[in-house]
Copies of this chain bind each other. A is one copy, B any other.
Amino acid sequence: MVIGALAEADGPRSAAELSRAIGESVPLSSLYRSLAVLEEVGVLAPHYSSPGLTRYELAEWLSGHHHHLVCIGCGRVQDLEADDAIERRLQEIVADVARAASFAELNHALEIEGHCARCA
């Protein structure tokens, strides 16, 4: 149910939001347990963008590589896929920059802050 709910979502979701999405029938302790397991096995990826709460999304091998638009107005995080040409240019930049800091890059994401269409 968690995976289904996240597959329908357009961005990361918190435990509370997921609980609502799947109908409150699952006790929170079970939900948190499932989230922990799914994260551990690499199906979910945590995302932190608001104080004191963790949102989850499908790992990129399931959802595809993407970036995040974080709305300062409503706090929502929206996924965004860039087209290949842009992604290629970005990957170059990331590689350059990580190499310069002798940092072993495993993944990257562009976090863009601003106002979403609704909050503009």
A101–B97 CA distance with the chains assembled, in angstroms: 26
A106 within 8 A of B: yes
CB pair B97–A67 under 8 Å, yes or no, is: yes
CB pair B104–A114 under 8 Å, yes or no, is: yes
CB pair B51–A49 under 8 Å, yes or no, is: no
Instruction: Kindly report which residue of chain B lies nearest to residue A105, judged by CB atoms.
Output: B114
- Main secondary structure on A side of the interface with B: strand
CB pair A107–B113 under 8 Å, yes or no, is: yes
The digit string for A80-102, where 1 denotes a CB below 8 A from any CB of B, is: 10100010011001101110111
Q: Least Cβ distance of A73 to chain B in Å?
A: 10
Chain B residues whose C-beta falls within 8 Å of the C-beta of A105 in the assembled complex: 112-114
CB pair A80–B93 under 8 Å, yes or no, is: no
Chain B residues whose C-beta falls within 8 Å of the C-beta of A113 in the assembled complex: 105-109
With A71-B103, A105-B114 given, name 4 new contacts (CB 8 A): A80-B100, A90-B93, A103-B116, A107-B113
